[in-house]
Homo-oligomer: A and B are copies of this chain.
């Protein structure tokens, strides 16, 4: 067979020949921008030409700091097509991390939305590799432009050559893009995507067995284009000829609903919090929608949310799971035809899982250096292998902690059912490891939080002289409610084995949280590290 490489050129060339009449629609500050693939293709080539004229060379990193809009999409193609590396930067990062990753990636050029320029003010002088800032927008002559000596995106394109001589044989293992992912501690870690990985990931997204992106679709990626390539939707949509709708700057639930309705969106993808807020609006303002699928990922969607969409709105709701390191699609929740005879609540339980492995990848469930069975009970860490799974962090010694023997160790603990459905139960770092057995902190927290008097709860493992670790529960009650330690333990005893029960229950006014509102369990672990140190060896799970 021919050694034709799997690269972005083959996607772009195919798309330009097959789908010149398809549409790309962007919500902008001032209204709606729309153009066709053929116009997109010319502007992609102009952008490549312009970057080349600026001195960008194959392998150079070109960063973007932008909302989901058509210029960002142009950058998605123009940068890798000329052999450079598309580095999408999360616009919600603190300035310190922003500076770190620009320096770590050694970005040469940054394409930035005009309304995001203020983000660069505090760090402009601290990123010496960055030679050019190109400002994207309709009115790039900001007054006052907070940063001097920027370039104007539209001006560059206007004078650039409308054709670019791309190399059809660009090697498939060459880097196409990169994305930094937050770490538990320390600076973000970089993941580099190859042309081959993106091409295969795109094929996986076009399969009838998974998200089935096709030319009949109109796709709305609500997930930001700086989050794992907007889950790969820009690449798969362009390849398979879907119309693309981009929500632009800071979309609200109302603006998303209007876009979905007006543009007849068939597939929309976002995290659960987006769908929760969309559902809240839809419940009070019925709007005609044409969705064949809501694609939900990023974190677990509550079954109630799935039920709301499917039963109240008649919109199929599909759960997917993955991470920056898996490009990101790793599992997709679609009910197997052989399970269609199950009762509705059993079907919902399956569809609320993270789903089944996507074709092309390998998955293991690991614990204590052993593979666990897919029995729906055994809890193990998920490991992935495959052509769109990272094999390292970019120039980062933390690679050692997350990769072993050619596999990615996700740090996610799950069970896998005999039918292959993955159900996340915890993070490895949050698991309580008691006497060689694993206790899911998340399961205990959910059970405690199900009590009507509880506002929130966290469970951590703390060192124990006999059992290695034992669970401690932290509970915040709703105002003016009263519960005792015994109430909590009795509640849990109804659902969990004795050795899962926390050694103590500590009532707090508030669980410490991270800047994005997640429990900061590390703070609790630091504070309560010695809490059970003096426990008698026979205490605990007996």
Contacts and interface: CB of A to CB of B under 8 A. Distances in A.
A414 to B, nearest CB: 15
Interface in A239-256: 239-241
A238 to B, nearest CB: 11
Nearest to A15: B359
Contact of A359 (B194, B206, B212): B206
A17 interface: yes
Nearest to A214: B208
A390 B10 contact: no
A369 interface: no
Interface in A342-360: 356-357, 359-360
Contacts of A338: 21-22
A386 B374 CA distance: 38
A357 B14 contact: yes
Contacts of A4: 362, 385-387, 389
A223 interface: no
A17 B218 CA distance: 33
A196 interface: yes
A207 interface: yes
A494 interface: no
Given A21-B338, A374-B17, A208 B240 contact: yes
Interface in A371-389: 374, 385-389
A288 B336 CA distance: 24
A197 interface: yes
16 contacts: A1-B173, A1-B192, A4-B385, A4-B386, A6-B387, A14-B357, A14-B359, A17-B357, A22-B338, A168-B362, A203-B359, A207-B207, A207-B240, A208-B214, A209-B240, A215-B336
Interface SS of chain A: loop
Interface in A65-111: none
**Total copies of the chain:** 2
Q: Which of A1, A4, A203 has the most CB of B within 10 A?
A: A1
A13 interface: yes
Contacts of A408: 2
Contacts of A6: 200, 360, 387
A3 to B, nearest CB: 8
B215 A337 contact: yes
B18 A337 contact: no
A57 B390 CA distance: 33
A390 B2 contact: yes
Contacts of A17: 357, 374, 420
A482 interface: no
A337 B203 contact: no
A245 to B, nearest CB: 15
B1 A197 contact: yes
Q: Which of A14, A356, A390 has the most CB of B within 10 A?
A: A14
A128 interface: no
B13 A362 contact: yes
B208 A359 contact: no
A423 to B, nearest CB: 16
Given A362-B4, A387-B6, A214 B209 contact: yes
Nearest to A218: B337
A357 B18 contact: yes
Contacts of A435: none
A57 B216 CA distance: 47
A213 interface: yes
Interface in A17-65: 17-18, 21-22
Given A4-B385, A389-B2, A390-B1, A10 B206 contact: no
A471 to B, nearest CB: 33
Contacts of A13: 362
Q: Which of A362, A388, A390, A408 has the most CB of B within 10 A?
A: A362
